[in-house]
């Protein structure tokens, strides 16, 4: 019985907790900067990474990260150069890359890919390699955000003022985007392409009304994410519901409870 729990429960739970820990502070910046659509675009574009991995034979996790980071680096200058509004451009890139990825995979002869697993997550099938990637990503994300916390917060509040203070605004924006791309790529296996933004947004939104400072909100967002993962995994274990959507539903429940608080 212990071996079964370790294989089918503890590793997916550990992976979900790792993702929630990094998604808390990172998602807080996403909420503060109103970057939710950017996260969706990275998630949809990461499907191209799967196509790259399938066609080239490289590790799919590495391909996902490469695709997501590559798209993030492309979007930054594209947003600055385009005459289109930011949401219009992101909408075009988001749905366009998703469609291209799906079409490319359908044309790959003799190759079978679990698209449902990538669209909605397949946390229970996660392996030790992916957990290792999550461990590395979570450590880097938390460490870098903690080290550059004041600078990232200053750029978030007022880029113009931060630039006057001599802070490297462009470099800090790039850092945040790359961390977001890493997290989005690795979250695909946990909650899927269609639910990644929910994991980034809902815990910080739930923590917002309970927080008295940005640091407290980031910490509570991580805690809310961990609780949502534990609740979702419990629902999946006892009621045989899909793990990824169950985690998001649990996060929604926590957000609903947070609305009961009165200032």
pLDDT average, residue stretch 31-35 = 89
Q: Are 191 and 124 in contact (CB under 8 A)?
A: no
pLDDT of 111 = 61
Could you give the C-alpha distances from 195 to 191, 208, 221, 230, in angstroms and in order? 6, 20, 17, 17
The pLDDT assigned to 206 comes to: 94
- Tally of CB atoms within 10 A around 4: 8
Give me the torsion for CA of 136, 141, 146, 151, rounded to 10°. Answer: 140
Per-residue model confidence as pLDDT tens digits over 93-137: 888 888 887 787 777 666 666 667 777 778 877 888 888 999 999
pLDDT of res. 41 = 85
Dihedral sign from CA coordinates of 124, 116, 178, 148: negative
Model confidence at 251: pLDDT above 90 = yes
CB-hemisphere CA count at 13 Å for 92? 9
Burial of residue 37, with CB atoms counted within 10 A of its CB: 0-12 exposed, 13-18 middle, 19 or more buried: middle
**Does position 2 have pLDDT exceeding 50, yes or no?**
no
- Buried-state track 225-252, b at ≥16 Cβ within 10 A, e below 16: bbbbbbbbbebbbeeeebbbbbbbbbbe
Q: Give Cα 49 distance to the centre of its chain.
A: 15
pLDDT over threshold 70, residue 3: no
| Structure-token pair, residue 12 | 């997916």
Secondary structure E strands in 61-154: none
Interval 22-41 mean pLDDT: 89
**Percent of the chain having pLDDT more than 90?**
43
Q: Does domain 2-258 have CATH number 3.30.540.10?
A: no
Q: Give the separation between CA 229 and CA 65, rounded to whole angstroms.
A: 23
In the chain, where the domains are located: 2-258
- Report the alpha-carbon angle 183-133-177, nearest 5: 25
Assign 262 to helix, strand or coil.
coil
Pick from 130, 121, 106, 122: nearest CA to 54? 106
pLDDT tens figures, 175-229: 999 999 999 988 888 888 778 888 899 999 999 988 999 999 999 999 999 999 9
What is this structure's pTM?
Answer: 0.89
């Amino acid at each position: 019985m212990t071996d079964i729990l370790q294989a089918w429960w503890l590793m997916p739970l550990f992976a979900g907790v790792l993702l929630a820990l990094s998604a808390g502070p990172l998602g807080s910046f996403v909420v503060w900067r109103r970057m939710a659509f950017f996260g969706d675009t990275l998630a949809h574009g990461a499907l191209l990474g799967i196509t790259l991995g399938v066609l080239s034979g490289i590790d799919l996790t590495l391909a996902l990260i490469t695709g997501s980071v590559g798209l993030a680096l492309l979007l930054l200058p594209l947003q600055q150069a385009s005459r289109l509004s930011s949401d219009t451009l992101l909408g075009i890139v988001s749905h366009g890359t998703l469609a291209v990825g799906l079409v490319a995979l359908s044309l790959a002869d003799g190759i079978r890919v679990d698209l449902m697993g990538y669209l909605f997550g397949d946390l229970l099938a996660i392996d030790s390699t992916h957990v290792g990637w999550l461990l590395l990503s979570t450590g880097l994300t938390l460490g870098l955000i903690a080290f550059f916390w004041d600078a990232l917060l200053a750029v978030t509040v007022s880029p113009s003022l931060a630039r006057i203070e001599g802070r490297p605004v462009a470099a800090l924006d790039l850092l945040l985007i790359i961390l977001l791309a890493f997290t989005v790529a690795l979250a695909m296996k946990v909650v899927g392409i269609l639910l990644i933004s929910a994991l980034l947004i809902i815990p910080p939104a739930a923590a917002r009304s309970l927080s008295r400072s940005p640091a407290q909100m980031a910490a509570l967002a991580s805690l809310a994410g961990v609780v949502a993962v534990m609740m979702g995994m419990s629902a999946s274990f006892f009621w045989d519901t899909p793990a990824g959507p169950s985690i998001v539903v649990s996060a929604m429940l926590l957000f609903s409870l947070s609305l009961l608080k009165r200032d």
